[in-house]
A and B are shown apart, each in its own frame.
Chain A
């Protein structure tokens, strides 16, 4: 601005002074002195221009109303204007970034947990099995592909824990459905002797309609349970028709769409926290292809 003043003529000095904003008081003062001396013709003319409109003494400090308006547009006032705008911008940006980083951090934690549970090479939990569903159709680990599944082991003559847990699972399934998450619920019996397909069908009909019941011969069920690290015991000497209980471990096994185990949910999860945990896993899930690809990227350390 100042350098521009020097190359312009004295005639336009007064208008330059207006634009100078904060400096205009000083310039006017000089203008007044110079013009009363009458030494500089050009500045005299400028003075006439100003005095014709208003005597200088009546011009308010800081310029006229229109001048001060201009000044506030580009002068000292602009700092205030920029400050609140910048503050708002920093707050919004900072808040948004914090939110996304916190969210992403949690997502990565969950993903790491899932990856640790998937294990390397031979799966720690899960693997091939061959059972029969309650309609008499074959059901293998292939049926787990393409969707998230929850697997629960139990038996129909279970006194209190299994029905409670299955009711809880029903609440989870409905809760997840409301959030747009479809899970395939699977019930595998640990008591094939008393739970043939038609019994399972009858038993599960009183629980969630999506539930699939699996059974098989004793060896097949034993193998499937072993794969899922489920230990169950039936009393050694059984007479036909005898009443007995089966001890078994009680976990919900969450399987990803590749049929791999990602988490075990125990009794500590209630009707709400279970939904939240499963939802976190579903949201954090990245297909195997994507996971492998990411390992080769420069930012792969983020996922280790």
Chain B
């Protein structure tokens, strides 16, 4: 990137992200999240986890932050928490024998 060594290609607002750059970002994200799974960190945005993340997942985090647009990084980290909570909720409901109802076929009137 020459003179603008601090900016990354994904943050270029004048161009849409390409399929390949998206794929690369998603792969880096998955690698980073796998590392977070190992140290049982769900919310990477919480300050109390920072030292642990720095110790165990420094490389993965750097790659994730390099490959993904800045706005995406926050989004994916938040989404991880939401997805985790959702999955936990579903598991809890399932253990209570709750039934999932598909409302997609409803006729709106």
Contact surface of A with B, Cβ cutoff 8 Å: 109, 112-113, 116-117, 156-157, 159-160, 163, 194-195, 199-200, 202-203, 206, 241-245, 266, 268-269
Contact = CB atoms under 8 A, between A and B. Distances in A.
Contacts of B71: 157, 159, 243-245
A289 to B, nearest CB: 24
Nearest to B109: A116
Interface of B: 11, 13-19, 22, 25-26, 68-72, 75-76, 102, 104, 107-109
Contact of A163 (B14, B22, B70, B107): B22
Given A157-B69, A160-B26, A112 B13 contact: no
Nearest to B22: A163
Closest 10 CB pairs of A and B: A156-B16, A203-B16, A268-B104, A159-B72, A243-B71, A206-B19, A243-B70, A245-B71, A113-B107, A241-B13
A241 B4 CA distance: 14
Contact of B107 (A112, A241, A245, A268): A112
A242 to B, nearest CB: 7
Nearest to A196: B14
Nearest to A263: B108
A249 to B, nearest CB: 16
A156 B22 CA distance: 11
Contacts of B76: 159-160
A156 B13 CA distance: 10
Contact of B18 (A113, A206, A268): A206
Contacts, number: 54
B52 to A, nearest CB: 25
Given A159-B76, A243-B11, A269 B104 contact: yes
A199 B15 contact: yes
B67 to A, nearest CB: 12
Contacts of B102: 268
A159 B72 CA distance: 6
B104 A243 contact: no
Nearest to B104: A268
A295 B17 CA distance: 51
A266 B13 contact: no
A245 B16 CA distance: 13
A157 B71 CA distance: 9
Nearest to A195: B16
Most chain B C-beta atoms within 10 Å of own C-beta, residue among A163, A200, A266: A163
8 contacts: A109-B107, A116-B107, A116-B109, A157-B16, A159-B25, A241-B13, A243-B69, A243-B70
Contacts of A199: 14-16
A199 B18 CA distance: 11
Given A160-B76, A202-B15, A206-B19, 9 more contacts: A157-B69, A163-B19, A194-B14, A199-B15, A206-B18, A241-B13, A242-B13, A243-B13, A268-B104
